Structures are given as C-alpha cells and as structure tokens.
Amino acid sequence: MRQIHFCALTILAVLPLFLNAANIVFFINAIGKSHLDFGDSLIDSLKEKGHTVDLVIARINDLAKGNENSKADRFYTLGFKNGSSWHKLNHLTSPFENNPFPIDGFRQYTLIGNQLCEIALHDEKLHQFLSEKSYDVGVVSVFDYCGIGILNKAGVSSITTFNAVPLMSIQTVTIGLPNIASQVVPLFYTFDLATLSGKLWNLITWAHINFHQIPTLRKEQELLFQKVYGPSFSINEVIDKVDLSFVNSNEIMETPMLINHRIQYIGGINLKTPKPVDHHLDNLLSKSSNGTIIFSFGTQIPGAVYPRYAVRNFVKVFKKYPEYTFLWKYNVQPGEEKLFEDAENVILLDWLPQTDLLYDPRVIGFISHVGLNSFNEASYAGKPIIAIPLFADQPHNARNGVARGTTYLLNKSKLSEESIENGLRAILFDKSYTESARKLQKMLVEKPTKPKDRFVEWMEYAAVNPGLHKIFALPGAKMGNIEYYCVDTIVFIAFSCVTFTYIFFKMAKFSLSFIRLVKKPKHE
C-alpha cells in the first residue's frame, strides 16, 4: 500500500513537468568549444525542467569538438564536406602578433558562414529532422541570420537567440539599439575613446559596420534564401520576429550600456560546480605555503604558437619567486627541455581542471587569455587576474576586469621579463587586486536573479506567449539609416539655415543699396 502511495505521489510531482513541457530546438554555430559548452549549459537548464530539446550543430569550425555530454534528446550535425577554412584564420595561426582587428575583419567569418548557410539550405536531411516535430521555441546562436531563417521556415512558433560572448554589433544594429560611436566600441575592437585617434577610428569602424557590413550580410543571406524559397522571402521580416536575445554577460561585470527588454543577461549560467581536486593536484597545491598561480590560455592555443621569447621570460620570472608554485597548462616544445630543468616551482600540465583549481583557497592568482568563461570563473571565484587577451572578445573582457580593479593587463606582443614581473607583483603584493576580486565575487554571488532562473523562466514564457517581438520592437529596427540618424532633418535644418542666411545677406545688401540711393540726392 505504501509503495502505491509513493508511486502516486511521485507521478503527481512529475506530472506537471510533462504537462507544461515545451518542445525546443537549438541551432548552434560551432565557432569554438566554449560556444558548444555554453549551448550545452542552456540545454541542461531546460532539460532539468522537463522540456524536450533537440540540437542542430552547424560546424563552421571543424576543430570545435564537444557535445558528447549534451543532454539533448536528438542531434543533427552538418558541416563542410572537405573541411572548413576556419582553422586558417589569422587569429588562430598567429594569436600573439600585434595585428589589430581590421575594419573589415568580420568579412572572412561571414564568407565562411555564407558557405555553410548554403549547405544547410540544401540539406534535405536537416529539413526532415526539423519537420519531425512541432517546436514551441527555437534557440539560435547569433553569428549570422541563417539559423533564424531556417527555423522560421521550419515553422517554429517563437525564435530566440543567444550569444556565448558579450553583445555584438549584429545584435545592436538588428534590434535597433542606440550604438553611438562616441560611447560604444564594437566587440573585437580595442579603440581608446579617450584619444582623438581612437574616436576617429571608432567612428570609421562604426560607419563601416552600420552602413556596409551588416547590410551586406543581410542582402547576401537573403539572396541565398530566395534561391530556395523564392523572391518573396525577406530576411528583414524574419529578423524582426525574434522574440528574445540571451547574452553571456552579467550586469555586474559588463560595461554599462543601453539595452532593450528583449535582451536578457545570463552570464554565469554555464559555470560548473567546483569539486575537490584529486590527490595529485592536492599535493602540488600544498607544495607552497604562500600560494599557487595557475596559467592557462584555454583550448584553442597550443604550445607551438607561443612566442619562444615569451616562454623564456615567463620561466625567468617564475623562477624569481620560488616561494610560489605555478601550474601551467603547456606542452614543452622541441628545444625547450633545458629551459624548465631548474624551474622547480613551475609545474607543466597537459590539462587543468580550471574551475576546481580557481575555487581552491590555495590558488591566489590566475594568468589567462580572459576568454569569457575563464573571466567568469575567476570572477565568481574571487581571484585576481593577469590578463593577456589574444583575440575576439578577450580584450573587451580584460578592459572590464581592469575597470573592476581585479585585473592587470599585459600586451600580448610585448611580453618582456619586466612587464610580466610587474603584473605578477601587482596581483601578489598589491592587495587592492585581491580585495576588488573578493568584492566582485560577493556582488556576483548575492545578485538577486540567478542566470539559470532568468533563462528558463523567459524561455517558458516565450513558449506560451509567442510574438513577444511585437511588444519589444524598437522603432529604430525598421528605420532606414537616413531616418534613424535624422539625416533628413539635419539636411532640412542645414538647407534652411543656408537659405535664411542667403536671403538675409541679399536683403541686407538690397537695404544698403537702397539707403545709399536715398541719401545721394541730399548730398547733391
């Protein structure tokens, strides 16, 4: 009898989950492993609430592996038959070179994206996969507009987007958010708005993105869809129907900016629960009573691309501080064997359980490329950072860390022995870095709304209330550039001023001539 009661109670407890369960499909551009991991964390959050989730992975980067631990119910993967050229991009082959992101830097990415979009549009198995279910919500990683268009044509009721990096220009321009060049530096760029040259280049880049880059992408992808669905297909109509946009940012850590109700910050949702380190790492962490610094550049930077001079300088500096232990994720390259022979306090590892180590009290600092996952983990763990940003959103994350007082910034192309030691001494002996890191940690942990709750609740809301885009739509999203920037009004005012000035001077000239004619007879 008790067993029957227990089963009945269990069914009653679980039944609401199934009654309210939504069918959700993810369309993820596999740009990097961190993007796949972030998508997995979103999928896991929904699965925990009993929702059904299917996953489409578009492998724009063949090197981005993962999703073996995803809890999705069904999978579909598409990609290039002969491989993508993504791995040949300069940011991966020469990450330490001092090459600023060019004005048209996104072009090489969008070209690869367009090629993959054309493959997806002609993939009959993909369309069959999407047609086998009726989806309440679609979730697209917003690298371009292809995934949005495909899910729209598949009849998905509500479409949302997500980003594994901070807010990108493709989102602000598409939504119609104010993105004034004097205040907002586009993601991936590093212009200093405190200088005249920085303002000038930011204005030029802003104009290129707003007036050329994004309109070109829209037109190119619209043409791809029109080849399949006919000339009536409008990419703008599809984009306008996006209900929500989830961004991997946190208000406490992100540069303040104007956002719309459609944008929801969920930064920190993919943080893993720290576990005690294993016996081997425990022994390594116990070697120094003063503390341990961990050093990692993530999964995309192999030891072969490190500048050799920089490796030597790091080892020289670390050896100066034998009272501290340095755990470095690095593979020794040919010819470097002797370099590490007498560096007893430098421990090289093939892999680091980064989350577990950062939360260990014996770890007192972190040397990192500050990818967003690493930046979030270190911030939530309350650890000061030496940041060496290499590409993409990393300079942006580093600037945010500097602004919060938790981060010391190094130039990736000038890793001299002196600069490295200055950074190390800052996080070891300047207590303001540790104090700021702990203060930021406290604010993040005590933040009222948790990212997982925000994501799941808004997704469930979108599932039962499709059409949120009609409520959240900004007028600027449908305005042309002339109307949005009041060019017509400015031209009218300028023309009116010129006309008024011309008429005024003509009347003044006529009046003076008339006065002279009137006065002339009196003198005679």
Question: Could you tell me which of 302, 331, 153, 178 has the C-alpha nearest to residue 232?
Answer: 153
**Under 8 Å between Cβ of 447 and 268:** no
> How distant, in Å, are the alpha carbons of 43, 65, 74, 286, 466 from that of 245?
16, 25, 24, 44, 14
State residue 15's pLDDT score: 43
Quick: pLDDT tens for 316-340: 999 999 999 999 999 999 989 889 9
* Fold of the CATH domain 279-445: Rossmann fold (3.40.50)
DSSP string, 177-216: ----TTT-PPTT----TTSHHHHHHHHHHHHHIIIIIHHH
Question: Could you tell me which of 130, 178, 136, 123 has the C-alpha nearest to residue 52?
Answer: 136
State residue 11's pLDDT score: 46
Q: Are 22-250+451-478 and 279-445 in the same CATH fold?
A: yes
Tell me the residue type at 374: S
Please tell me the number of Cα atoms within 13 Å of 438 on its side-chain side. Answer: 8
**Under 8 Å between Cβ of 398 and 405:** no
24 has which bridge partners?
Answer: 53, 137
Dihedral in degrees, nearest 10, Cα atoms 449, 454, 457, 462 = 140
Select, from the ranges 9-23, 56-70, 270-284, the one with the highest average predicted confidence (pLDDT). 270-284
Q: Provide the residue ranges of all domains of the chain, joining segments of one domain with +.
A: 22-250+451-478, 279-445, 486-524
The residue among 392 and 322 whose pLDDT is bigger is 322
Angle at 283 between CA 278 and CA 286, to 5 degrees: 120
Angle at 394 between CA 388 and CA 398, to 5 degrees: 65
pLDDT score of 7 more than 60 = no
Quick: pLDDT tens for 334-381: 989 889 989 999 999 999 999 999 999 999 999 999 999 999 999 999
* Fold of the CATH domain 22-250+451-478: Rossmann fold (3.40.50)
Question: Could you tell me which of 359, 360, 303 has the C-alpha nearest to residue 328?
Answer: 303
Which run of H or E residues covers position 323? none
Quick: pLDDT tens for 495-523: 999 999 999 998 988 888 888 877 765 55
**Under 8 Å between Cβ of 78 and 129:** no
State residue 12's pLDDT score: 45
Query: Considering the entire predicted model, what is its pTM?
Result: 0.87
| Torsion-angle region of 342 (φ positive above 0: left; ψ -120 to 50: alpha; else: beta) | alpha
Question: Could you tell me which of 300, 350, 309 has the C-alpha nearest to residue 92?
Answer: 300
SS3 state at 121: helix
Region 134-140: mean pLDDT is: 96
Region 32-52: mean pLDDT is: 93
pLDDT score of 485 more than 90 = no
Q: Which of 21-25, 94-98, 149-153, 227-231 has the lowest mean pLDDT?
A: 94-98
The rounded distance, in Å, linking the Cα atoms of 10 and 289 is 51
